[in-house]
Structure 1
Amino acid sequence: MKRMLLLLLVFVLVDFQSFAQSTPKSYYWVQLKDKKGTPFQISNPEAFLSQRAIDRRMRQHIAIDETDLPVSPVYIDSLKNRGLEIFHTSKWLNGITVRTADTALIQKVASLPFVASVQLTRPASTLKSAISKFREDELNAEIDPSTYGIAITQLTQLNGQYLHNQGFRGKGIQIAVLDAGFWHVNQIAAFDSLRLTNRILGTRDFVDPYSDIYQQHTHGMSVLSCMGGNLPGKLIGTAPDASYFLIRTEQDPTEYLIEEDNWVAGAELADSVGVDVINSSLGYGDFDDPAMSHSYSDLNGKKTRITKAANMAFSKGILVFNSAGNEGAGGIKAPSDGENVIAVGAVDKYGVRASFSSVGPAYGGAVKPNVAAMGASTFLVTSGGALWYSSGTSFSSPVLAGMGACLLQANPYANVKQVKMAIEQSGHQYSNPDSLLGYGIPDFGKADKYLKVNSLNSQISEQSWFVSPNPFTDYLLVKNINSGSAENCVISIFNLQGIQLWQSAFKTSEQILLNNLSILPDGFLILTIRSGGKEERFKLIKTER
Structure 2
Amino acid sequence: MKKTFLFLLVLSINFSFSQEHAWIYLGGKANVATYLANPLTMLTQKALDRRTNQGISLEFSDVPVTPSYITDISNATGITYVGASKWLNAIHVIGSQADVNALSTTFSYINSIEFADNSLNPGGKVSSSKAASVHINKYPTENTSRIVYDYGQAQNQMEMFNAHKLHELDFTGAGITIAVIDAGFPNVDTNAGFDKIRTNGQILGGYDFVNNSANFYTGNSHGSNVLSFIAGYYDGATKYIGSAPEASFYLYISEDAIPETPAEETYWVMAAEQADYVGVDIINTSLGYTTFDESKYNYDYITDLDGSTSFITRGAEIAYTKGMVVINAAGNSGSDGSWGGRVGVPADGPNVFTIGAVNSAGTYAFFSSKGPTSDNRLKPDVCVQGQGASYINTSGNVSAGNGTSYSSPLLAGGVACLWQSLPGKTNAEIIQYVKESASIYATPNNELGYGIPNLELARSLSVNELELNEVISIYPNPATDNVKVNLPKSMQKASVTVFNVLGKKIITQEINATEKTIKVSHLNRGIYLLKFTNGNMSQTLKLVKD
The more displaced of 225-234 and 163-172 is 225-234
Q: Provide the rounded CA distance (Å) in 2 between the counterparts of 1:146 and 1:410.
A: 18
Could you state the TM-score of these two structures normalised by the residue count of structure 2?
Answer: 0.74
Aligned partners of 1:222 and 1:381 also within 8 Å = yes
- Identify if the C-alpha distance between structure 1 residues 210 and 67 changes in structure 2 by more than 3 Å, giving closer, same or farther: closer
Equivalence for 1:433: 444
2:92 to 84, 90, 97: 97
Q: Provide the rounded CA distance (Å) in 2 between the counterparts of 1:133 and 1:260.
A: 19
Instruction: Give the aligned residue type for 1:137.
Output: T
Q: Provide the rounded CA distance (Å) in 2 between the counterparts of 1:385 and 1:166.
A: 28
Aligned partners of 1:361 and 1:368 also within 8 Å = yes
Instruction: Give the aligned residue type for 1:260.
Output: E
Equivalence for 2:266: 261
- Identify if the C-alpha distance between structure 1 residues 457 and 441 changes in structure 2 by more than 3 Å, giving closer, same or farther: same
- Structure index of larger Rg: 1
Q: Is residue 221 of structure 2 the alignment partner of residue 197 of structure 1?
A: no
Equivalence for 1:88: 83
1:314 to 297, 306, 320: 320
Q: Provide the rounded CA distance (Å) in 2 between the counterparts of 1:458 and 1:317.
A: 25
Equivalence for 1:399: 410
Equivalence for 1:152: 155
- Identify if the C-alpha distance between structure 1 residues 67 and 220 changes in structure 2 by more than 3 Å, giving closer, same or farther: same
Instruction: Give the aligned residue type for 2:372.
Output: P
Equivalence for 1:237: 242
Query: Deviation digits for residues 444-495 of structure 1, max 9, x if unmatched?
Result: 01110122234347899xxxxxxxxx9xxxxxxxxxxxxxxxxxxxxxxxxx
Query: Deviation digits for residues 190-239 of structure 1, max 9, x if unmatched?
Result: 10111111111111111112474323100000000000001125110000
Aligned partners of 2:24 and 2:93 also within 8 Å = no
Query: Deviation digits for residues 66-105 of structure 1, max 9, x if unmatched?
Result: 11111122322322443655432101111112356x7654
- Identify if the C-alpha distance between structure 1 residues 234 and 305 changes in structure 2 by more than 3 Å, giving closer, same or farther: same
Q: Provide the rounded CA distance (Å) in 2 between the counterparts of 1:453 and 1:256.
A: 48
Equivalence for 2:298: 293
2:372 to 361, 368, 385: 361
Aligned partners of 1:27 and 1:97 also within 8 Å = no
The 5 Å alignment of 1:503-542 reads none
Q: Secondary structure at the match of 2:460?
A: helix
1:246 to 251, 264, 270: 251
> What runs of 5+ residues in structure 2 fail to find an aligned partner?
1-12, 118-132, 143-147, 336-340, 472-490, 492-537, 541-546
1:334 to 345, 367, 371: 345
1:34 to 23, 27, 46: 27
Q: Provide the rounded CA distance (Å) in 2 between the counterparts of 1:455 and 1:27.
A: 54
Q: Provide the rounded CA distance (Å) in 2 between the counterparts of 1:44 and 1:210.
A: 28
1:228 to 215, 227, 231: 231
The 5 Å alignment of 1:57-136 reads 57-82=51-76, 84=79, 86-99=81-94, 105-111=99-105, 112-119=107-114, 130-136=134-140
Q: Provide the rounded CA distance (Å) in 1 between the counterparts of 2:317 and 2:467.
A: 29
What is the CA-CA distance between 1:114 and the residue it aligns to?
Answer: 1.9
Query: Deviation digits for residues 2-49 of structure 1, max 9, x if unmatched?
Result: xxxxxxxxxxxxxxxxxxxx9968574332232232455222211111
What is the CA-CA distance between 1:106 and the residue it aligns to?
Answer: 2.8
- Identify if the C-alpha distance between structure 1 residues 380 and 115 changes in structure 2 by more than 3 Å, giving closer, same or farther: same
Q: Provide the rounded CA distance (Å) in 2 between the counterparts of 1:62 and 1:223.
A: 30
Instruction: Give the aligned residue type for 1:406.
Output: C
Q: Provide the rounded CA distance (Å) in 2 between the counterparts of 1:213 and 1:81.
A: 28
Equivalence for 1:284: 289
> What runs of 5+ residues in structure 1 fail to find an aligned partner?
1-21, 123-128, 139-144, 461-469, 471-539
Q: Provide the rounded CA distance (Å) in 1 between the counterparts of 2:256 and 2:278.
A: 23
Percent identical among aligned pairs is 36
Q: Provide the rounded CA distance (Å) in 2 between the counterparts of 1:454 and 1:108.
A: 58
Q: Secondary structure at the match of 1:351?
A: coil
- Identify if the C-alpha distance between structure 1 residues 289 and 99 changes in structure 2 by more than 3 Å, giving closer, same or farther: closer
Q: Secondary structure at the match of 1:32?
A: strand
Instruction: Give the aligned residue type for 1:149.
Output: G
Equivalence for 1:372: 383
Q: Is residue 393 of structure 2 the alignment partner of residue 382 of structure 1?
A: yes
Aligned partners of 1:146 and 1:152 also within 8 Å = no
Q: Secondary structure at the match of 2:351?
A: coil
Q: Is residue 308 of structure 2 the alignment partner of residue 302 of structure 1?
A: yes
- Identify if the C-alpha distance between structure 1 residues 200 and 433 changes in structure 2 by more than 3 Å, giving closer, same or farther: same
Q: Is residue 39 of structure 2 the alignment partner of residue 45 of structure 1?
A: yes
Equivalence for 2:173: 170
The more displaced of 381-390 and 309-318 is 381-390
Q: Provide the rounded CA distance (Å) in 2 between the counterparts of 1:459 and 1:231.
A: 44
2:212 to 194, 209, 212: 209
- Identify if the C-alpha distance between structure 1 residues 331 and 162 changes in structure 2 by more than 3 Å, giving closer, same or farther: same
Query: Deviation digits for residues 398-433 of structure 1, max 9, x if unmatched?
Result: 000000011110011100111111000000000000
Q: Secondary structure at the match of 2:217?
A: helix
What is the CA-CA distance between 1:136 and the residue it aligns to?
Answer: 2.6
Instruction: Give the aligned residue type for 1:278.
Output: I
Query: Deviation digits for residues 306-334 of structure 1, max 9, x if unmatched?
Result: 11111111111000110000001421001
Q: Secondary structure at the match of 1:344?
A: strand
Q: Provide the rounded CA distance (Å) in 2 between the counterparts of 1:356 and 1:378.
A: 14
Aligned partners of 2:183 and 2:256 also within 8 Å = yes
Q: Secondary structure at the match of 2:453?
A: coil
Query: Deviation digits for residues 333-377 of structure 1, max 9, x if unmatched?
Result: 011111001110101111011100111111222110000001011
Q: Provide the rounded CA distance (Å) in 2 between the counterparts of 1:103 and 1:541.
A: 59
Instruction: Give the aligned residue type for 1:386.
Output: N
Q: Provide the rounded CA distance (Å) in 2 between the counterparts of 1:156 and 1:292.
A: 41
Q: Provide the rounded CA distance (Å) in 1 between the counterparts of 2:150 and 2:187.
A: 25
Q: Provide the rounded CA distance (Å) in 2 between the counterparts of 1:81 and 1:254.
A: 25
- Over the aligned positions, Cα root-mean-square deviation in angstroms equals 2.7
Q: Secondary structure at the match of 2:261?
A: coil
Q: Provide the rounded CA distance (Å) in 2 between the counterparts of 1:377 and 1:35.
A: 49
Could you state the TM-score of these two structures normalised by the residue count of structure 1?
Answer: 0.74
Aligned partners of 1:121 and 1:258 also within 8 Å = no
What is the CA-CA distance between 1:119 and the residue it aligns to?
Answer: 4.8
